[in-house]
């Protein structure tokens, strides 16, 4: 795919060099995560005279690579080196601290640039729509992951890890496993990572000894990868608990596993873990995999008004037409998991798990989706009238339709469509999407590479057709116009060289603690370091 993009773009480039040099292509990429940087990289390779600007609301680049990837996965963050080379390209610039919707509107960007690519992820959480969801003690996994990764918007989360001995995570995707691993891994091992110092201190004082991973479906449908599962099963001094009855496969399950090597390997790992003898309480910590349960409501504490005390679960069975199409259907049977800040005696409740606990809801399927429930953690997606949680602007010229269910902007191979009908001829000229906005919150970092290649190919095809730029058209202001507009509005831009100051300060702070970096985790700290 990459070669196709480059060859087609060069074919157009050779025919249009004279006109293009006098009216260079101006491209703005909104979002500096993997989708944004891969898009910028592919644009610079396919259109060598293009000017590409990457804007982001944060003063720090790299998106989920910085604030979403777990701190004990440094190998995944190596891609930052590649992205840095893109930002340092002579035809590219990074403009941090620029917020779409407040610093500048989408309609203004479209007037300034030939091409605008929206490549930012989710900053809002999808409601489950069940009673009790507003109780205290319920957090979004996006917030929790931001908290331990030093994101400035997660700095003040302050989850209470001292007054409970168990956590329940709703969901069994890679992010759910990430969070469970952070809660169970010895803090001595986390101390040499780039985990936020305040999060490490809280984990060192944590009383949590049991973690429950609860899924709506069965082990054959578990959304995690074998690599992530193998890692959490290998944590030292942790007992693994899985009910063998849950591991029994139906004919539909067997067909599903036959056609999916990753899911087959996940099931094998879970089966081996279930067969392994437990250590009869010798280990200090426990990890419980619980299948075929879906939350029905959250229960309020009788002792602490407004606080969650438990979750009412409905047991489920799988129904569907075939492999990969099975969905969890409630059976009408219910049970509770009690949680809160006070011990509960097991004899007090019939048919009830009763650890004293908080909840971490992680209704996610992928490593880089920042969603779960802490003390019940919540899945991300979008609410109606929100553009992945960020209102772009209220004027129709800037508005984009979005599926309220999937969180995807209607598009055809990255070209934004004018409505939700799916008609590929109803295009928003010059407007494109990449990443989660294009395909939904799925995939890993590398998934964005292929996603960006397709979007850049669509842009190149539209340029060749004369849809975006021509010799007769007036030049677009691009970066010059953007900088002037932001200056007029007193927006303090953080350039990539400013980011390098932040980067140097974080590394300096980390070196004294035997860490790769100590992240600056407040807006004031970040801005101060960038200005020095």
| SS3 sequence of 359-403 | EEECCCCCCCCCCCEECCEECECCCCCCECCECCCCCHHHCCCCC
A 10 A CB-CB count for 415 gives 23
> How many residues belong to the chain?
532
Q: Is 29 helix (H, G, I), strand (E, B) or coil?
A: strand
Among 90, 51, 119, 89, CA closest to 478 = 51
How far is 343 from 100, CA to CA, in rounded Å? Answer: 47
Contacts of 65 (CB under 8 A, 6+ apart): 33, 34, 76, 77, 79, 80, 83, 445
Per the annotation, does 443 bind a ligand?
Answer: yes
How far is 186 from 283, CA to CA, in rounded Å? Answer: 12
Per the annotation, does 353 bind a ligand?
Answer: no
Among 260, 153, 289, 284, CA closest to 206 = 284
Contacts of 95 (CB under 8 A, 6+ apart): 53, 54, 55, 56, 482, 486, 493, 494, 495
* Contact criterion met (CB below 8 Å) for 165 and 355: yes
Per the annotation, does 265 bind a ligand?
Answer: no
Per the annotation, does 217 bind a ligand?
Answer: yes
Per the annotation, does 391 bind a ligand?
Answer: no
Among 378, 336, 414, 313, CA closest to 137 = 378
| Sequence-ordered strand ranges (E) for 283-326 | 285-290, 293-300, 308-319
* Contact criterion met (CB below 8 Å) for 382 and 124: yes
Q: How far is CA 436 from the centre of its chain?
A: 9
Per the annotation, does 473 bind a ligand?
Answer: no
* Contact criterion met (CB below 8 Å) for 116 and 430: yes
Structure tokens at 1: 């795919």
Per the annotation, does 261 bind a ligand?
Answer: no
Buried b (16+ CB within 10 A) or exposed e, 156-170: ebebebeebbbbbbb
Per the annotation, does 173 bind a ligand?
Answer: yes
Q: How far is CA 20 from the centre of its chain?
A: 37
Structure tokens at 65: 């690579």
Per the annotation, does 35 bind a ligand?
Answer: yes
H helical segments located in 90-196: 106-112, 141-148, 174-184, 187-190
Per the annotation, does 407 bind a ligand?
Answer: no
Contacts of 103 (CB under 8 A, 6+ apart): 57, 97, 486, 489, 491
Contacts of 213 (CB under 8 A, 6+ apart): 169, 171, 172, 176, 177, 180, 287, 288, 289, 290, 362
Per the annotation, does 175 bind a ligand?
Answer: yes
Per the annotation, does 264 bind a ligand?
Answer: no
How far is 97 from 522, CA to CA, in rounded Å? Answer: 13
How far is 56 from 37, CA to CA, in rounded Å? Answer: 11
* Contact criterion met (CB below 8 Å) for 296 and 130: yes
Annotated binding site for FAD: 35, 64, 100, 436
Annotated binding site for NADP(+): 172-175, 216-217, 228, 443
Annotated binding site: 35, 64, 100, 172-175, 216-217, 228, 436, 443
């Amino acid at each position: 795919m990459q070669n196709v993009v480059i060859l087609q773009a060069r074919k157009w480039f050779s025919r249009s060099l004279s006109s293009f040099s006098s009216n260079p292509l101006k491209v703005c990429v909104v979002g500096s995560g993997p989708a944004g940087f891969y898009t910028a990289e592919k644009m610079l390779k396919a259109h060598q005279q293009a000017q590409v600007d990457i804007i982001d609301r944060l003063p720090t680049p790299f998106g989920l690579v910085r604030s979403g990837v777990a701190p004990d996965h440094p190998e995944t963050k190596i891609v930052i080196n590649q992205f840095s080379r893109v930002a340092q390209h002579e035809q590219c610039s990074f403009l941090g601290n620029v917020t779409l919707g407040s610093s500048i509107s989408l309609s203004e960007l479209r007037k300034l640039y030939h091409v605008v690519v929206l490549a930012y992820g989710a900053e809002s959480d999808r409601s489950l729509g069940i009673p009790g969801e507003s109780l205290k003690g319920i957090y979004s996994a996006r917030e929790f992951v931001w908290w331990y990764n030093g994101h400035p918007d997660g700095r003040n989360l302050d989850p209470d890890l001292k007054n409970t001995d168990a956590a329940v995570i709703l969901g069994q995707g890679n992010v759910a496993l990430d969070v469970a691993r952070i809660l169970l891994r010895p803090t001595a091992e986390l101390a040499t990572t780039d985990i936020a110092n305040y999060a490490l201190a809280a984990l060192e004082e944590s009383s949590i000894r049991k973690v429950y991973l609860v899924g709506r479906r069965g082990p054959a449908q578990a959304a995690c990868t074998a690599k992530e599962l193998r890692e959490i099963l290998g944590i030292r001094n942790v007992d693994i608990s899985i009910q063998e009855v849950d591991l029994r496969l139906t004919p539909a399950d067997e067909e599903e596993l036959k056609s999916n090597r990753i899911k087959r390997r996940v099931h094998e790992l879970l089966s081996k873990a279930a067969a392994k003898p437990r250590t009869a309480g010798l280990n200090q910590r426990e990890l419980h995999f619980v299948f075929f349960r879906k939350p029905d409501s959250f229960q309020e504490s009788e002792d602490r008004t407004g606080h969650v005390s438990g979750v009412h679960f409905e047991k489920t069975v799988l129904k569907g037409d075939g492999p990969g199409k099975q969905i969890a259907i409630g059976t009408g049977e219910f049970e509770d998991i009690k949680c809160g800040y006070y011990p509960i005696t097991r004899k007090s409740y019939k048919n009830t798990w009763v650890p004293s606990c908080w909840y971490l809801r992680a209704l996610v399927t992928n490593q880089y989706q920042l969603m779960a429930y802490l003390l019940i953690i919540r899945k991300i997606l979008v609410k109606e009238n929100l553009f992945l949680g960020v209102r772009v602007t209220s004027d129709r010229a800037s508005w984009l339709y979005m599926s309220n269910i999937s969180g995807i902007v209607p598009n055809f191979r990255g070209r934004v469509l004018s409505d939700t009908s799916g008609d590929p001829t109803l295009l928003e000229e010059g407007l494109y999407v990449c990443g989660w906005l294009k395909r939904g919150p799925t995939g890993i970092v590398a998934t964005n590479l292929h996603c960006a290649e397709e979007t850049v190919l669509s842009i190149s095809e539209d340029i060749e057709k004369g849809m975006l730029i021509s010799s007769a058209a007036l030049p677009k202001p691009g970066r010059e116009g953007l900088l002037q507009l932001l200056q007029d509005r007193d927006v303090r831009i953080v350039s990539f060289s400013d980011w390098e100051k932040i980067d140097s300060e974080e590394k300096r702070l980390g070196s004294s603690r035997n860490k790769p970096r100590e992240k600056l985790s407040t807006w004031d700290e970040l801005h101060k370091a960038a200005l020095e």
